[in-house]
């Protein structure tokens, strides 16, 4: 189902609240998706009560990086009050790491800044190292992230050429499965808690392998029991509203 088909359903009540599962396209920000939804539903009849136009409230329950695709939960109307409930659910991701090189942002947003030897890295070493990441632990987020530092987004500080030390946070990796190894590419499936940065796992995996690594693709498959298989497709991006 696409967005137009979804919002055309006469049984939808966006003011009372809808939970919209979106398959976020590559290069879209999470706010691009929110703005597209907001613009698409703002004139829906449910936002008019007793002849008065109501404000179309829309928000998302957990950011996805522009270079990631997959499940994004968007809430409308009164359902926006439940956003924190969905943010706390465990997540399922699939994707690929590149072994032997790093980037400043730990993914493909920036160019490679260093390369490392990989001759010592075997399939067995990768599989055994991945096992050590399972469980509760402390993780340091990427500097290129939406975390706020003294009122500023960390990525704004980083893009201005400045550095700031981000505090580590508690996360839990429930499962870290290596699904394919075709060096230098390693495919994975990770089940993890709220607040986990897969880009940071890429960085830390590279260090643990006595090499370097960065994220080359990422897709969010699930949030709790919500599955991207049930998500709607977004229309082409337009500069006017996205």
Both 116 and 167 in a single domain? yes
User: Is the separation of the CB atoms in 120 and 96 below 8 Å?
Assistant: no
pLDDT higher than threshold 90 for residue 167: no
Radius of gyration of the chain (CA): 20
pLDDT higher than threshold 80 for residue 125: yes
User: Is the separation of the CB atoms in 18 and 76 below 8 Å?
Assistant: yes
Both 60 and 121 in a single domain? no
Average pLDDT over residues 77-93: 96
Both 130 and 194 in a single domain? yes
CA angle 117, 120, 122 (to 5 degrees): 120
Q: In 10 A of CB 210, how many CB atoms?
A: 13
Phi and psi torsions of 186, nearest 5°: -130, 120
pLDDT higher than threshold 90 for residue 51: no
Q: How confident is the model at residue 162 (pLDDT cuts 50, 70, 90)?
A: confident
65 part of the active site: yes
Both 102 and 29 in a single domain? no
Both 161 and 64 in a single domain? no
Query: 3-state class of 226 per DSSP?
Result: strand
Both 114 and 169 in a single domain? yes
User: Is the separation of the CB atoms in 69 and 218 below 8 Å?
Assistant: yes
Both 144 and 162 in a single domain? yes
Cα end-to-end distance, the chain, whole Å: 20
For the chain, the domain total comes to 2
Burial status of residue 136 (CB atoms within 10 A of its CB: 0-12, 13-18, 19 or more): exposed
pLDDT higher than threshold 60 for residue 231: yes
Both 136 and 194 in a single domain? yes
Q: How confident is the model at residue 164 (pLDDT cuts 50, 70, 90)?
A: confident
Q: Bridge partners of 186?
A: 97, 181
Domain extent, residue 13, equals 3-88+226-233
What percentage of the chain exceeds 90 in pLDDT?
Answer: 77
Both 105 and 178 in a single domain? yes
The answer to whether residue 242 is domain-embedded is: no
Which range (20-29, 62-71, 137-146, 183-192) has the least confidence? Answer: 137-146
For strands 213-223 and 91-99, give the pairing.
Answer: antiparallel
The answer to whether residue 239 is domain-embedded is: no
Question: Domain with 117 in it: what CATH number?
Answer: 3.30.2350.10
Average pLDDT over residues 214-227: 98
CA angle 91, 97, 100 (to 5 degrees): 150
Average pLDDT over residues 121-130: 98
As a whole number of angstroms, the distance between CA 66 and CA 75 comes to: 20
Phi and psi torsions of 161, nearest 5°: 85, 10
Both 34 and 119 in a single domain? no
Q: How confident is the model at residue 12 (pLDDT cuts 50, 70, 90)?
A: very high
The average confidence (pLDDT) of the chain is 92
Residue indicated by tokens 């499962």: 175
User: Active-site residue among 65, 107, 227, 242?
Assistant: 65
Q: How confident is the model at residue 48 (pLDDT cuts 50, 70, 90)?
A: confident
Average pLDDT over residues 205-225: 98
The answer to whether residue 240 is domain-embedded is: no
What pLDDT is recorded for position 186? 98
pLDDT higher than threshold 60 for residue 121: yes
Both 128 and 61 in a single domain? no
Both 15 and 116 in a single domain? no
What pLDDT is recorded for position 149? 75
pLDDT higher than threshold 80 for residue 94: yes
The answer to whether residue 17 is domain-embedded is: yes
What pLDDT is recorded for position 50? 81
């Amino acid at each position: 189902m696409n967005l137009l088909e979804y919002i055309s359903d006469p049984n939808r009540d966006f003011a009372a609240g809808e939970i919209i599962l979106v398959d976020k396209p590559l290069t879209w920000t999470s706010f691009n998706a929110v703005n597209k939804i907001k613009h698409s539903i703002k004139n829906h009849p449910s936002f008019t009560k007793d002849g008065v136009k109501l404000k179309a409230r829309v928000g998302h329950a957990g950011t996805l990086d522009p270079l990631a695709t997959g499940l994004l939960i968007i809430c409308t109307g009164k359902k926006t009050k439940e956003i924190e409930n969905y943010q706390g659910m465990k997540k399922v991701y699939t994707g690929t790491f590149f072994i032997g090189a790093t980037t400043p942002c730990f993914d493909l947003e920036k160019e490679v800044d260093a390369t490392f030897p990989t001759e010592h890295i075997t399939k067995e070493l990768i599989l055994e190292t991945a096992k050590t990441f399972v469980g509760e632990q402390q993780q340091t987020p990427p500097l290129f992230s939406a975390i706020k530092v003294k009122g500023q987004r960390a990525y704004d500080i980083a893009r201005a050429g400045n550095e700031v030390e981000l505090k580590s946070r508690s996360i839990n990796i429930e499962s870290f499965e290596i699904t394919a190894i075709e060096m230098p590419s390693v495919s994975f499936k990770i089940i993890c808690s709220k607040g986990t940065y897969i880009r940071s796992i890429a960085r830390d995996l590279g260090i643990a392998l006595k090499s370097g690594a960065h994220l080359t693709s990422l897709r969010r498959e699930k949030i709790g029991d919500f599955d991207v298989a049930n998500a709607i497709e977004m229309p082409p991006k337009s500069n006017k509203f996205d």
